[in-house]
Amino acid sequence: MSHSVESELREPLVTGDKTLHDITEAACAPMERKPNGLWWAAFLVALSCLGVGFATVSYQVATGIGTWGLNKTVGWAFDITNFVFWVGIGHAGTLISAVLFLFRQKWRTSINRSAEAMTIFAVICAAIFPLIHMGRPWLAFWTAPYPNFRGPLWVNFRSPLLWDVFAISTYFTISAVFWYIGLIPDLATARDRAKGIRKKIYGIMSFGWNGSARIWSRYETAYMLFAGLATPLVVSVHTIVSMDFATSVIPGWHTTIFPPYFVIGAIFSGFAMVMTLLIIMRKVVNFEEYITINHLENMAKVIMVTGSIVGLAYATEFFMAWYSGSEYEGFTFINRATGPFAWAYWIMVSCNVITPQLMWFKKLRRNVWVLFILSIFVNIGMWFERFVIVVTSLHRDFMPSSWTYYTPTMIEFLTLLGSFGLFFTCFLLFCRVLPMLAFGEIKGVMRTGKHKHDEHKHAAKAHKPATAKAHEHEKEVAHV
């Protein structure tokens, strides 16, 4: 069988013998129809969590961050843990959209739009925590270097915390532009189908798109350029976030493995959150034929590989702590595994190292319930990874007289709950007002249905006897 025939016989990326019109109808349906009961239930839960978070943050700003469980030894805890967690969640969107696009992975087309939106909302959630930690969030503009009345009082460009400001703001800007550029063709389709005020809004957002060959050419060039620009950000942003720790002198933080370790961990946790979202949303908006089990299986493979690399990083940390000969470094890692916070460490190892190894079995990789539970465990494990890194390196420092235990307050738990409420509220609203599927890209990679698939089967069968006859003829000629 020739390679071209074999490639055409692969399982289609869109199931159900869909036509191009069917894809347009399905992708526009969440925007045009009234939401179903599942959507309303999810939205009300998310909005309730957001309301609790808003009230909690308002109380913190009015009262001060003394409402947290911080003490003189543990000056960072839930706030930085949550910040790094949400920044990591945002990495999978750019990876799926930009990196997989450059590598021409066609399975990305059904999931990239949701992943890109997830990136935007996750970065917004991440930005909340440094603002709260400032104590006076209305003075956040002081982190921007601009000519001002303060004269020589400039920001400290040598501070890794300021590097975060530039890295996150750049990442957010590029990701938002990349996401919006991909939306334009689909917004034009929504404009042509809409009526009244919605037609005007979509018309403004689609920038006069008319689908001409010239516009498509410019669009594809711009999309490629932004994909190339966004790809280095996947590595650079979380590398800079890791510098918050790696440039310090605290044992357990002062290590060169942090940049690649943080990047892989971010991709690991980001793919897990994408899988959580897509498994929920494919059921809520009836997209099972577009976000298929093959898409989920491919993501499970990425989770399995990155989870194995994260496990290697954990082992490398222990090895280097021993190999360095530093008693402080060695004590820090032994304390993580056997000290007061050992429970958090072993939750991290169980969820991030052991659980993903179940994905070696294809039967488990193709079970939606198993994948959903796996993604939840990975999300939990990656949050605890950041918690272990931050708290266990601080609560027992160089002076035993200052050793203490950190206990988070209810305010911190409710703030974390509120961040999840903000994330899911934004995502559910996105699914209602903007195309959740990149149907312009899906149409470019789909096969039009079963009949074409059967034609290739018959062509393949007809190809075999023809090839056999040709070989027999060659043998007869050779014999003569």
Residues 5-17: pLDDT tens digits? Answer: 444 446 667 776 7
Residues near 393 by beta carbon (within 8 Å), at least 6 away in sequence: 250, 251, 252, 253, 332
Cα separation, 204 vs 127, in Å, equals 29
Cα separation, 205 vs 203, in Å, equals 5
Kindly give the residue spans of alpha helices, DSSP state H, lying in 74-210: 78-89, 91-94, 100-102, 112-133, 160-193, 196-205
pLDDT of 18 reads 74
Residues near 120 by beta carbon (within 8 Å), at least 6 away in sequence: 90, 93, 172, 175, 176, 179, 426
pLDDT of 309 reads 93
SS3 44: helix
The residue type found at 404 is T
Are the C-beta atoms of residues 366 and 426 closer than 8 Å to each other? no
Q: What residues does each domain of the chain span?
A: 13-145+171-449
For 279-295, b/e burial (b = at least 16 CB within 10 A) is bbbbebbebebbbbbbb
**Phi, psi at residue 226, to the nearest 5°?**
-70, -30
Are the C-beta atoms of residues 217 and 225 closer than 8 Å to each other? no
Q: What is the pLDDT of residues 324-366, one digit of tens each?
A: 888 888 999 999 999 899 999 999 999 999 999 999 999 998 9
pLDDT of 152 reads 59
Q: What is the pLDDT of residues 432-443, one digit of tens each?
A: 888 888 777 787
CA 208 to chain centre: 31
Residue with tokens 């949400």: 86
Are the C-beta atoms of residues 336 and 392 closer than 8 Å to each other? yes
Mean pLDDT score, 134-162: 76
Residues near 296 by beta carbon (within 8 Å), at least 6 away in sequence: 275, 278, 279, 365, 366, 368, 371
- The separation between the first and the last C-alpha atoms of the chain, rounded to the nearest angstrom, is 29
Above 70 in pLDDT, residue 142? Answer: yes
Above 70 in pLDDT, residue 1? Answer: no
Mean pLDDT score, 312-317: 93
Instruction: Provide the pLDDT confidence category of residue 470 given band limits of 50, 70 and 90.
Output: very low
Mean pLDDT score, 400-424: 91
Cα separation, 125 vs 82, in Å, equals 9
pLDDT of 55 reads 95
SS3 269: helix
CA-wise closest residue to 436 among 118, 41, 223, 50: 118
Cα separation, 213 vs 327, in Å, equals 66
Cα separation, 22 vs 314, in Å, equals 48
Residues near 395 by beta carbon (within 8 Å), at least 6 away in sequence: 73, 74, 340, 341, 403, 404, 405, 406
Mean pLDDT score, 142-150: 71
**To 10 degrees, what angle do helices 410-433 and 112-133 make?**
150
The residue type found at 91 is H
Instruction: Provide the pLDDT confidence category of residue 151 given band limits of 50, 70 and 90.
Output: low
Q: What is the pLDDT of residues 28-49, one digit of tens each?
A: 877 888 888 888 898 999 999 9
Question: The dihedral of CA 371, 373, 379, 385: what is its sign?
Answer: negative
Mean pLDDT score, 80-102: 85
